[in-house]
Amino acid sequence: MFDIVFISYNEPNADENWNELRSRFPNAKRLHGVTGIQHAHRNAAKMCLSEMFWVVDGDSKILEDFTFADPDGVWIESVYVFKAQNPVNGLIYGNGGVKLLPRIRTLNLDPNTVDMTTSIAEHFTAVDNIASITMFNTDPFNTWRSAFRECVKLSSKIIDRQVDQETEDRLNVWCTVSQGAFGNYAIKGALAGKEYGLNNRNNSENLRLINNFDWLAEIYAMS
């Protein structure tokens, strides 16, 4: 089995999700509190010995039937992303999903990329299996932040290999559908992220700011 790394920052439910993961997979490792998404993933790669490693986000709840089994015909030069369930708008795709990453390529990750996952390697595989629930709606700020970041990516079309119609459909759902806890903050974040992405789609420096959590906190406070 490839190494498993749980990457957490300030997610309110991170400890709970980590304890559940560790109870099922005792060899899992945890990386906590590293600033910067790219830096966190590079540090996670340094913790591993296997040529590929699994990444579980701090707000991810792993489904009971998911076992971290290697995908069929796994290739160490490809990024694999599993689907996650969104509890706010019902979308099921790679946003917030479990990832299987090539270790060496992650160590050499460009820190200036906007969308980290699709920039690690030329080859990218979206796995059809649902591995987790991305429980980002834990409080107003974290809900807003997750929606804002994703909708900046969708509206700016910065994600490599994205399909225009699929991207537009997902963006529309983010901006119009909400249920469960803090759903109104998801809508607010989605609409703000859509506007920011459209206004800055040709400005990579401004788009990179979505990976700066201090900047996101400032934008949220002014919203």
Instruction: Verify that 127 and 178 share a domain, yes or no.
Output: no
Q: Which CATH number characterizes residue 9's domain?
A: 3.90.550.10
Q: Which two tokens stand for residue 173?
A: 């759902």
DSSP string, the chain: --EEEEEESS-TTHHHHHHHHHHH-TT-EEEE--SSHHHHHHHHHHT--SSEEEEEETTEEE-TT---PPPTT--TTEEEEEEEE-TTT--EESTT--EEEEHHHHHT--TT-SSSGGGS-SEEEEEEEEEEEE---SSHHHHHHHHHHHHHHHHHT-STT--HHHHHHHHHHHHH---STTHHHHHHHHHHHHHHHHHTTT-HHHHGGGG-HHHHHHHHHH-
pLDDT at 62 (0 to 100): 98
Domain boundary (104, 119, 134) is at 134
Instruction: Verify that 41 and 150 share a domain, yes or no.
Output: no
Domain boundary (104, 134, 164) is at 134
Backbone phi, psi, residue 146, to 5°: -65, -45
Q: Whose CA is closest to 166, among 84, 77, 218, 93?
A: 93
Instruction: Verify that 169 and 81 share a domain, yes or no.
Output: no
pLDDT tens profile 181-223: 899 999 999 999 999 999 999 999 999 999 999 999 999 999 8
Instruction: Verify that 68 and 165 share a domain, yes or no.
Output: no
Q: Look-up: residue for tokens 């390697």? A: 121
pLDDT tens profile 55-66: 999 999 999 999
24, 28, 32, 36: CA torsion to nearest 10 = -120
Instruction: Verify that 103 and 198 share a domain, yes or no.
Output: no
Are the beta carbons of 114 and 211 closer than 8 angstroms?
yes
pLDDT at 8 (0 to 100): 98
161 pLDDT more than 80: no
pLDDT at 30 (0 to 100): 98
Instruction: Verify that 95 and 79 share a domain, yes or no.
Output: yes
Instruction: Verify that 164 and 95 share a domain, yes or no.
Output: no
pTM for this model (two decimals): 0.94
18, 21, 26, 31: CA torsion to nearest 10 = -40
pLDDT at 74 (0 to 100): 86
| Domain coverage including residue 121 | 3-134
Instruction: Verify that 8 and 108 share a domain, yes or no.
Output: yes
Instruction: Verify that 112 and 168 share a domain, yes or no.
Output: no
Instruction: Verify that 120 and 159 share a domain, yes or no.
Output: no
Domain boundary (79, 102, 134) is at 134
Q: Whose CA is closest to 61, among 88, 29, 33, 86?
A: 86
Sequence-distant (≥ 6) Cβ neighbours of residue 120 within 8 angstroms:
79, 101, 102, 105, 106, 109
Instruction: Verify that 74 and 150 share a domain, yes or no.
Output: no
Q: Total structural domains in the chain? A: 2
Instruction: Verify that 10 and 55 share a domain, yes or no.
Output: yes
Angle, vertex CA 216, rays to CA 107 and CA 168, nearest 5: 80
